[in-house]
Chain A
Amino acid sequence: MNVNSIATDKRQLSRLGYALLLILALALPFLGFMDRSKMSVAVLAGIYVILGLSLNIIVGYAGLFQLGHAAFYGLGAYTTAILSINYGVPVLLSIPIAALIAGIAAIIISKPILHLRGDYLCIVTIAFGEIFRIAAVNNIFGITGGSNGLFGTARPEFLLPWIEPIPLITLIAILIVYAITVRKSPLNVQLLGGAAIALAYYLPPLITGQEPLFVLSIVMGLLGLLVASMTHNFSYREAGALWGIAVVFALIMLIGGGNLAGAIDQGVRDTFKVGDPIEGPMGMTFVPVAFKRDPIPYYYLVLIFIIITLVGMLRLQDSRLGRAWLYVREDELAAEATGIDTTRVKLAAFAIGSAWAGVAGTLYASRFTVVSPDSFDFLQSVIIFCIVVLGGSGSIPGILVGTLGMVVLPELLRDVAPTFLIEGIGPFAILALILAFYIHSRRQHLTKAALEAGAIALAFIAPTLLTAQPSLYLAGIVAALVGVWIASELNRRDINPIPWLWGGAVIYIALLTLAGQGLAQSLSDGIHNFRITDWRDGLMGAAMVLMMILRPAGLIPERRRGIVFSAVAEVGEGESVSTPQLA
C-alpha cells in the first residue's frame, strides 16, 4: 500500500463521516427524543456552527487573532433587523446585504491593524467589539434602539415553489450553479448530469399533474448540486450517480403521486403561514409563505447554510487563497518572501470570515426576532472563539465538537444538578480516574505509587464513612487532586512523598471528621442549588486554561496539511518561533 492510497482512503473515510453526519442532521427533527425546545437548541447550535466556521477562516486558516467576532455577527443581525423593521425588506433577501456590510466593515477596520502582532491584534479586536456594543447601546444614528435593541424582525418569507414561474426559476438557478461547479469537466459529462437534474426535476410533477411534488424536485436538485460540489472530479461515475438519484426520485414521485402531494400540501399548511396569492405581471401568481415560530423549518434553513458554508470552506481550503493562508499562518516572513501579498491575504480572511458571520447574524435576527447589544457582547466573541480554539483550530470536526461543548451541553444540562458527584458510584469513579491517572504516571514504581495512592484514597473516603455525609466527597475530590499534585511535586524533587501524604491524609481526615458538619451542609446545598448558567463562564474559563495546558491544538486538532518548516514551528500552535529552514 503506498502513501497515496492511504491518503485517498482517509479522504473517503472522512467523506463517509460527513455523509453519516448529514443523514443524522437531516433526520434529527424526527428522532423520538427531540421536542420543540430541543429543536430550538439545535437551531441555535446551528447558528453557532456557522459562526465557528466563519471565525475558523480568520483564526484557523489565517492564524489571526480575533476576539471581536460578535461585532460582525451583530452587524449582520442589526442590518437585517433594521431593513426588516424600517423598510420591510424580506429577511432572506437581506442576507447578501448583511454579508456585504459586515464584510466591508471588516475590511475598513482590519486594514490598519493587520500588521499588529498576535496579542496586540487580540486587544484591538476586543476594543472594536466593545466599540460596536457601546455604539449599539447608545442608539447610534438613532437606528439601533438602545440597550433594549430592536423588536419585531420579520420571519423568513419565500414564495411557494409549486406555482409558476417559481419552479422554472429554481431549476434555472440550480442549473447555473451546477454549471459553475462542474465547469472543469468535459462538456458531455456536464450535459449528462445536467439532464438528470432537469428531467427528474420537471417531468414527474408534470406527468402526475401534482404540483406540490416540486418540493421534492427542489430537494432532488439540491442533492444533485451537493453531489457535484463534493466531488473533485466530476466524471462519468458521478454523473451516473446523479442519474441514480434522479431515477429514485422520479420513481418515488411517480408512484407516490397524489398521496405524497396531498401530504406535502398539508404539511406546508401546518408548518408555515400561507398567504393569499399575489398577482404578478404577465399572469404569474405568487403565494407568499412565511415561517412560524416552529423551529423545524428554521433548523433546515440553518442546515442549508451550514452545508453551503462547509462546501465553501472545503473548497477554500485547497484553493490558491487557502494555501496562501496556511503559508501566512505557518510563516509570514517566508510567505512574503515567496511573493504572497500577506496583507491582502489576511484582509481576505477577515473579510470573508466577517461577512459570513453577518449571514449568521441574519439567521439569528430572523429566528429570535429581537436583536439587542447584550447578544453580541464580548462574552459571545469569547464563546465563538472557544468553539474554534477548544474544538481544534482549523479543524471542521473540531468546530462541531466545540459547538456541542459550548452551546448544546450547557442547554441540555440546564436542570441537572451534579449530584452524581456525591451519590452512587459517581465519587468512586472519579477517585478511580484520579488514581489511575496518577499510578499510570508512576508506573515505574508501582509499589510506591500504590502506597501513595492509598493515602489519597483514604483521605477521599474516610470523612464520609466517619460522618455519614456524602457531600464530603466533594472536598475529597479537591483533597485527592491536591494530594496528586503534592506527590508529583515531591517526587520531582526526589523527596519521598509517602510520609507527607499519609500525614496529610490523617490531618485532613481528623479535621473534616471533627468540623465537617457545617462544611458538609453547605457543600450539599451548593450541589443541589447548582445552576450551570451561573457557572458557565467559569467552566468555560477553566476549560480554556486546561486545554491550553493539556491539548493546545484543541480537542480534534487539525490534520496538518503540508508545509512544516522546522521542528520548532510545531511547538507553538500556529506561531512561528524560528526562521524557516527552506530546503
Chain B
Amino acid sequence: MNRRVLAITVLVVMLVSMSVPMSVGAQEGEPILIGLQGPMTGDYAYEGQGFQKAVQLMVDLTNEQGGILGRPVELIVEDDAGDPTQAALVAERLVDAGVVAVIGAYNSTATEPASEVYHEAGILHITPSSTATRLTEKGFEQFFRVCFLDDRQGLFAVRFMDEVLGAERIGILHDNSTYAAGLAEWTRYYAEEAGLEVVFYDAINPEDQDFTPILTNIGEVNPDAVYFTGYHAQGGLLLRQTADLGLDIQWIMGNACNNPELIEIAGVDAAAGTFITTEPLPQDLDYPEAREFVELFEETYGEPLTSIWWLMAAEAFNVIRYAIEETGSTDTEVLADFLHNEFHDFPGLTGPIIGFDEKGDRLGTIHVAYIIDEDGNFVLYPEQPAAGEEEEAAPAEEEEAGEAEEAATEEESTAEEEEGG
C-alpha cells in the first residue's frame, strides 16, 4: 500500500512541477543573438576554432561601432564536432537560445541535419564552407551559402589542363571523401566534354600512409597531368612518394591542398612545380576589406588568418549584419527575401558578392591556378585559362548528375595561407 502512495505522490509532484514555457519577445536594446555552429573539437577543430575567432572579431568590431540597429550583438558558439548527430543536437540548443541567425556548420554532413532544424524553426542559416550541391536543392528559402560550389572548380581545372598545359591524356585521383569524389566526377565530366582522354581514374584511402602501389600504377599509365582532388595531408605524401619512386608525374591539386603543410610534408624539392587550383589567397585578393581584416586578425590573436573558410565565416556575419541593417528587421522571412532579391554587389571579404541565386547559392566564381615555386611558395601562375563562359550556370543535365553524386563537401582543413610557405 505504502508503495502505491509513494508512486502517486511522485506522480503528483511531477505533474505540479510542469511549467508553462515562457516566450521571450525581442525588445529594444536587448542583444541580437547570432549563433555559430562548428567543429570546436574533433578532427576539424582547427577550422571550427578559426570560425569562432574570425566571427568573434567581427562581432566585437560591430559592437564597437554601436551594434546592429542600436542593439548589441551577442555570439553564441556551439560545438558540433563535425558529427551529424551532434550537429542536430546543438542546432536545437541554438534554437532554444533564441538566435536570430546562424553561421555554420563546417562540413556538409553536419550542415545537413542542422539546416533541417533551422528551417523548421524559421531561422536564417548561412554556411561558410559546406559545398555539397544537395544542401541547396531542398528549397529551404532561409538557407544560404557564401562559399562556391565544386563543379566550377572542376571546370576550371579542366580548362587549365587543356588550355594552359596542353594536356591530352589526364589522370584523376580522389580520396573517396564526398567532396573529393564529387570534384573528381565533375572534372571527369568536363574533361570528357572538352575532348580530353581520362586515362586514369581511381581513389586512395585517406587513412593510408603508403601510396607507392597506386603511384607505381600511375607511372605505368603515364598521363600528361594528374589532378588530385583530396586533402593536403595525402597530397603531400603523394608528392613525396612520387619523388622517392623517381616518377615524373605532373601534379595538379584541388583547393583542399592549398595549405603550406602540403609543402612541409612533401619537402620543397618534391613539391616544386605542382599546380594548385583554388580560390585566390588573401594576399592576392585585391580587396581592401580583406587586407584590413587579415591584418586585424593577426594583430588581435597573434597568429595569421590561415584558412579562407575563416574569412568566409566572417563574411557570413557581414552578410547577416548588412541584411538586418538594410531591412531594419530581424524577421527571417524579411531577411531571406532581401538576400534573394535585393542583395547585390556587396563589398565582401572574399570579393564582391554579386548576389545569391534562388537556391541560396553565391553567384560567380573566382578560381585561379597557383604553382609551387623552387622556394616552396605558392605563386600565382602567370598563365590562366581565358575567362569564358564560366559565369554560365551548369546546364540542366549536369545538375542532375550533381545530385546523383551528391557532389562536394569541404571536410578538412582546406587552408589558404596568407604567406605561402
Contact = CB atoms under 8 A, between A and B. Distances in A.
Nearest to A23: B11
A411 B89 CA distance: 9
Nearest to B203: A138
Contact of B3 (A16, A137, A145): A16
Given A44-B85, A368-B113, A533-B79, A137 B132 contact: no
Interface in A115-168: 134, 137-139, 145-149, 151-152
A41 B15 contact: no
B116 interface: yes
A339 interface: no
Given A24-B14, A30-B18, A32-B19, A370 B81 contact: no
Contact of B81 (A16, A30, A134, A533): A533
B51 to A, nearest CB: 15
A20 B9 CA distance: 11
A36 B120 CA distance: 13
Contact of B84 (A16, A24, A370): A370
Interface string B54-98: 000000000000000000000000010101111011101101100
B85 A375 contact: yes
Interface string A102-113: 000000000000
Contacts of A414: 79
Interface string A32-54: 10011101110010000000000
B132 A20 contact: no
B333 to A, nearest CB: 18
A292 interface: yes
Given A148-B178, A533-B79, A374 B109 contact: yes
A293 B96 CA distance: 13
A20 B10 contact: yes
Given A16-B7, A40-B92, A533-B81, A370 B109 contact: yes
Counting chain B CB atoms within 10 Å of each CB, which of A24, A37, A137, A295 scores highest? A37
A390 to B, nearest CB: 21
A436 interface: no
B132 A148 contact: yes
B394 to A, nearest CB: 20
A31 interface: yes
Nearest to A534: B41
Interface in B2-51: 3, 7, 10-11, 14-15, 17-19, 21, 40-42, 45
Contact of B406 (A44, A145, A295, A534): A145
A576 interface: no
Contacts of B10: 20, 23-24
Contacts of A563: none
A368 B84 contact: yes
B176 A375 contact: no
B84 A375 contact: yes
A40 B14 CA distance: 20
B176 A146 contact: yes
Contacts of B42: 533
Interface string B108-145: 11001100110011000000000010110010000000
A216 to B, nearest CB: 18
Interface string B182-195: 00000000000000
Contacts of A134: 205
A134 B204 CA distance: 12
A367 B117 CA distance: 11
B80 to A, nearest CB: 9
B17 A35 contact: no
B178 A27 contact: no
A40 B177 contact: no
B294 interface: no
Interface string B161-202: 000000000000000111101000000000000000000000
Most chain B CB within a 10 A radius of its CB, from A20, A31, A151, A411:
A151
Output the residue of B17, B116, B132, B138 with the most chain A CB within 10 A.
Answer: B116
A448 interface: no
Contact of A19 (B7, B178, B411): B7
B242 interface: no
B391 to A, nearest CB: 27
B178 A147 contact: yes
Contacts of A44: 85, 89
A293 B138 CA distance: 15
A555 to B, nearest CB: 23
Contacts of A39: 92
A146 B406 contact: yes
B265 to A, nearest CB: 22
Given A145-B406, A148-B409, A149-B109, A27 B89 contact: no
A531 interface: yes
Interface string A66-86: 000000000000000000000
A411 B85 CA distance: 12
Contact of B14 (A31, A37, A138, A151): A31
B88 A368 contact: yes
A369 interface: yes
Interface in A348-401: 367-370, 372, 374-375
A19 B83 CA distance: 36
A4 to B, nearest CB: 20
Given A149-B109, A368-B113, A375-B83, A35 B96 contact: yes
Contacts of B409: 148
B165 to A, nearest CB: 29
A152 B10 CA distance: 41
A151 B112 contact: yes
Nearest to A145: B406
Contacts of A32: 17-19
Contacts of B181: 139, 146-147
Nearest to A374: B83
Interface of B: 3, 7, 10-11, 14-15, 17-19, 21, 40-42, 45, 79, 81, 83-86, 88-90, 92-93, 95-96, 108-109, 112-113, 116-117, 120-121, 132, 134-135, 138, 176-179, 181, 203, 205, 406, 409, 411
The 4 closest A-B CB pairs, nearest first, are A148-B178, A32-B19, A37-B92, A293-B120
25 contacts: A20-B7, A23-B10, A24-B14, A27-B18, A31-B17, A32-B17, A36-B96, A39-B92, A40-B88, A138-B203, A145-B178, A147-B178, A148-B409, A293-B121, A368-B113, A369-B112, A369-B116, A370-B113, A374-B84, A374-B109, A375-B84, A531-B40, A531-B41, A533-B86, A534-B41
Given A23-B14, A148-B179, A151-B406, 17 more contacts: A19-B7, A23-B7, A27-B14, A37-B92, A39-B92, A41-B89, A145-B406, A146-B178, A148-B177, A148-B178, A149-B109, A368-B84, A368-B113, A374-B109, A375-B84, A375-B85, A533-B86
Interface of A: 16, 19-20, 23-24, 27, 30-32, 35-37, 39-41, 44, 134, 137-139, 145-149, 151-152, 292-293, 295, 367-370, 372, 374-375, 411, 414, 531, 533-534
